[in-house]
Amino acid sequence: MALDELKSAVPDFAKDLKLNLGSVIGNSDLPQQQLWGTVLACAIASRSPKVLRELEPEAKANLSAEAYTAAKSAAAVMAMNNVFYRTRHLLSDPEYGTLRAGLRMNVIGNPGVEKVDFELWSLAVSAINGCGQCLDSHEQVLRKAGVDRETIQEAVKVASVIQAVGVTLDAEAVLAEQ
């Protein structure tokens, strides 16, 4: 199992990450599609080759072809949106907020899976990418759709642990090259 291999790659000084990885993925209360779509989208967003290589096969095995593609689409469109909307939010000139975005993001309207699942994956990727405006937007859509805070927090926990594991493993790989 790739999850076990990933956990075993986490160094001893980051034991908490190893334990959390097993817990947020291995013992998640999220339905399988929501969990593994979140895992895949976050593995992509983490930008860690090792994390993506280890988690992608298991995600693919646990997702329908449509959900697999939609999770990758969530990571892709949020990579764009998180930069754009975070920048607009951070610029001190409020006029940028009134300008038309002019960016295609059709997949958000028709992701090929349940809208709630796609929104959850988008929220998790936005957590990794640090876009407060996107986080608020996706959280509001999820809450209006009846998703509870615990489910939203569960996706954010998955995102935070995957990101931390990626950062740690990539740093260790660089240090091992010295």
Active site residues: 131, 134
CA distances from 159 to 16, 39, 110, 112, 163 (A): 15, 7, 23, 22, 6
Alpha-carbon gap, residue 114 to 136, rounded angstroms? 20
What is the Cα 152 distance to its own chain's centre?
Answer: 12
For the chain, how many helices (H) and strands (E)? 9, 0
Q: Which of 57, 64, 24, 22 is closest to 40 using CA atoms?
A: 57
Q: Can you give the C-alpha Rg of the chain in angstroms?
A: 16
Report whether 129 contacts 83 (CB < 8 A).
yes
How many residues are given for the chain? 178
